[in-house]
Amino acid sequence: MKKFKVLGGGCRNCEVTANAITQAAKEAGVEIELEKVTDMAEILGFGVMSTPGVVLDGKVVHAGSIPGPDQVRDWVLG
């Protein structure tokens, strides 16, 4: 099971990112675990300075914007 973390303060872009990951996993029939991280100390601990950030299995894979649909599908399927 892939473990995703969406890093951000709960802004609209963070919600859109979390929803895109959830939807891509649902469409692909892939089971994931998704956690929303809003604690700034934890976010900075990942080295992310601009949100939303995406962590996949402990590694930062995106930061600073809403990821595109193809990128999200690649994470889910990869």
Which residue numbers are catalytic? 11, 14
Provide the terminal-to-terminal Cα distance of the chain, rounded to the nearest Å: 12
Please answer whether residues 8 and 38 qualify as being in contact, where contact means their C-beta atoms are separated by less than 8 angstroms.
Answer: yes
